[in-house]
Structure 1
Amino acid sequence: MNKIIAFFKKEMMLTLALAAAVIALFITPPSKDLLSGIDWRTLGTLFMMLTVLEGFKQENIFLPFIRFAGRFVTMPGLSFFLICCVFFSSMFVTNDVSLIIFVPLTIILFRAGNKEKYILPVISMENIAAIRGSLLTPFGSPQNLFLYGRSGVSAPVFMLHMSPLWVTSFILLFIFVKVLYRKDPKMAVYEAAAGNAASGQSGTSTTSVEWDPARKHKRIIYLCLFVLIVWTIVSRTGYWYISALAVLAAVLLSDRKILLKTDYVLLATFLCFFIFSASIAANEK
């Protein structure tokens, strides 16, 4: 019992989401409408991405990115860097793709430094960054595609009109980060980061597994699966479940232990949020 209590205390986001879902179910009992209201596509896509990212982590595919992120020894610096990654990448890979890529990475990096309490506010800002960053380009979001198609202007003119709002949003995000860490603007990401800052060293470990040629096939598999996931998101295909089954089958055949490391807590948190929102929506009907 003590372990269960400790688990829910540690996973506060899941605890809050579960409490909200349970309360909502008392208001609106489970039904077919409730099940259909849950965004299974997003859950399936998130499962695919979390599983493949866990494979990336095991095979050190993201090691260059994590090492670069490790140069930011303060929480404001790391947070703004991750927000910028979402902000600028969303212009080219759409806002939902950028979030599905960088939100799990944010969670991994923050948990490594025992900074879980900052995960929710930074992810919230990443959501804003994804929406605001993607508005610059015609293909950044479905809304932009619609506006661009209806406007009849060229891409450069469209981007010129959107740039004031885009620049203002970037400045506001910078201010938001400053406000978030206003009480401790030099907060270290890792315990050792404060001592290493003066010497220019990162608080992250630089130890890595050697690039074993024998494991090359696994890296190729995970990269191919990542491309499949991105295509599934960008194409908005209705057959997302086939991609999910393909990812599951590929991982089961090549590296089934990865499935034990997938962040099911995050999946459960999203499921609880979807149950809550679907229950409220069904009650309004």
Structure 2
Amino acid sequence: MPTADDVHPARSNLPRKLVSFALKEPVLTILIAALVVLQCARPQPWLALPKLVDWPTVMTLAGLLMLTKAIERSGLLMWLAHRVVHRVRSERTLACLLIGLAAALSMLVTNDVALFVVVPLVLSLHALTPLPVKRLTIFLALAVNAGSILTPLGNPQNLFLWQVGAVPFGRFVLAMLPLCALLMAMLSVLAWFAFKAKSLDLSRDVEKQTVERAYAGVAAVLFVAFVLLADSHHAGIGLIGVAGGFVLWRRDAVLKIDWALLLIFVLMFVVLRSVAALSWVHDTVAHLGLDSALRAYVAGAVLSQGISNVPAAIMLAQFTKDWRALAFGVSVGGFGVAIGSLANLIAVRISKVRGIWLPFHLVSVPFWLVAGVLGGWLLVHL
């Protein structure tokens, strides 16, 4: 006699699929659950929720995801990475080169894309010669957090603050340069002592890296054009051009982007702005006096440890207009506990290294504490 599960196999698999989805996309799952709770506790018209989203920021992120995906799939980034490390002779030199490469890429193609290039490169090199993969993964996560803060393109929180602050691209870079230089200097000194000067043999790395030059060239030109349009507050026009062009020519640049990240960003705006509108939350944060630059900085650095730096930036932006202080705070907040930045979780996820969490925090938490003090001094005195 057939059981209920035999009659309705899809229904019996539903809980398993939901658990699998939750484990795969925990941030998205938490945001969906939070939205449901908020709508039950403090209902809002569903048609009013899209008004809470900063659509210029979402459109800018979508365009950048498409362009960086095109550059990645052209093979240009992997070709560049192998060229950079081709003549390396020691573990320390290799580590410093990879850290510098990850930081530089994160300034232009976002921190997660930089990790998707450099971490697989480390794994492929490890197949040729023994490397401290766990230690390298930790330092690469720190590197993209430090490097990405320089430009509005480096990470989602910068992108958001650049748009809502209506700051010219060049002014944003100049404002973030001191903090970026400080963090990279700290990381470089730490890496010098963390990696040995023992010799390496990478002569077997002879695999030819091919580049689709037309694909890479068009993507690079569109990248510059899109940034200029976004800087002049015409991200929507740029997105239509980029998406339309790639759909007609190379649709993989559109279909293969991280759509879950876009949905996460949309839900972050809805959930966090809804939370910020709650009277007790508004009153509590308002009493913190975030009109002070130093307090806004500390709030960003500390709150990031609990809810990650992108949500912290979105939430605290409701209470302070000092975009630089907030950018400094959430940038430093990317260090410390792993959840401080999604880049930390991405690095560990794609490296598939076991037993990494304790070593990660033994490096990242002290780094956060020192960076927090020095970053606050920079904010006040520069």
Q: How far does residue 244 in structure 1 lie from its aligned partner after superposition?
A: 0.8
The within-5 A match list for 1:6-21 is 6=20, 8-9=22-23, 11=24, 14-21=25-32
2:248 alignment partner, one of 246, 253, 256: 253
Partners of 1:210 and 1:80 in 2: CA distance: 23
Q: What residue ranges of structure 1 are gaps of 5+ in the alignment?
A: 87-97, 146-161, 187-196
Q: 1:267 to 1:128 in 2, by over 3 A?
A: same
Q: How many residues align?
A: 230
Q: 1:228 to 1:178 in 2, by over 3 A?
A: same
The reply on whether 1:103 has 2:111 as its aligned counterpart is: yes
Partners of 1:16 and 1:6 in 2: CA distance: 13
Tell me, yes or no, if the aligned pair for 1:99 and 1:127 is still in contact at 8 Å.
yes
Q: 1:70 to 1:202 in 2, by over 3 A?
A: farther
Partners of 2:236 and 2:224 in 1: CA distance: 16
CA distances 1:193-248 after superposition (whole Å, capped 9, x unpaired): xxxx7213587x8433365xxx73x444323321222212333x1x3111111111
The aligned counterpart of 1:223 is 220
2:261 alignment partner, one of 255, 260, 266: 266
The reply on whether 1:232 has 2:226 as its aligned counterpart is: no
What is the percent sequence identity of the aligned residues?
18
Partners of 2:31 and 2:95 in 1: CA distance: 31
The reply on whether 1:198 has 2:200 as its aligned counterpart is: yes
CA distances 1:223-281 after superposition (whole Å, capped 9, x unpaired): 3321222212333x1x3111111111101111123322222233233334333322222
Tell me, yes or no, if the aligned pair for 1:70 and 1:202 is still in contact at 8 Å.
no
2:185 alignment partner, one of 144, 164, 171: 171
Partners of 1:266 and 1:79 in 2: CA distance: 26
Q: 1:100 to 1:33 in 2, by over 3 A?
A: farther
| Structure of greater relative contact order (alpha carbons < 8 Å, 6+ residues apart) | 1
The aligned counterpart of 2:297 is none
Q: Secondary structure at the match of 2:34?
A: helix
Partners of 1:3 and 1:176 in 2: CA distance: 43
Partners of 1:140 and 1:206 in 2: CA distance: 39
Partners of 2:172 and 2:211 in 1: CA distance: 42
Aligned-residue CA RMSD (Å): 4.4
Q: 1:7 to 1:48 in 2, by over 3 A?
A: same
Q: How far does residue 102 in structure 1 lie from its aligned partner after superposition?
A: 3.4
The reply on whether 1:53 has 2:74 as its aligned counterpart is: no
The reply on whether 1:22 has 2:19 as its aligned counterpart is: no
Q: Secondary structure at the match of 2:261?
A: helix
Partners of 2:33 and 2:211 in 1: CA distance: 47
Q: Secondary structure at the match of 2:76?
A: coil
**More off after superposition, 110-119 vs 29-38:** 110-119
The reply on whether 1:207 has 2:208 as its aligned counterpart is: yes
Q: 1:166 to 1:221 in 2, by over 3 A?
A: closer
Q: Which amino acid aligns with 1:125?
A: A
TM-score, scaled relative to structure 2: 0.46
Q: Which amino acid aligns with 1:141?
A: R
Q: Which amino acid aligns with 1:19?
A: I
Q: 1:101 to 1:200 in 2, by over 3 A?
A: same
Partners of 2:59 and 2:191 in 1: CA distance: 31
Q: Secondary structure at the match of 2:110?
A: helix
Q: Which amino acid aligns with 1:172?
A: M
Larger Rg: 2
Tell me, yes or no, if the aligned pair for 1:20 and 1:273 is still in contact at 8 Å.
yes
The aligned counterpart of 2:171 is 141
Partners of 1:35 and 1:120 in 2: CA distance: 33
The aligned counterpart of 1:67 is 82
TM-score, scaled relative to structure 1: 0.59
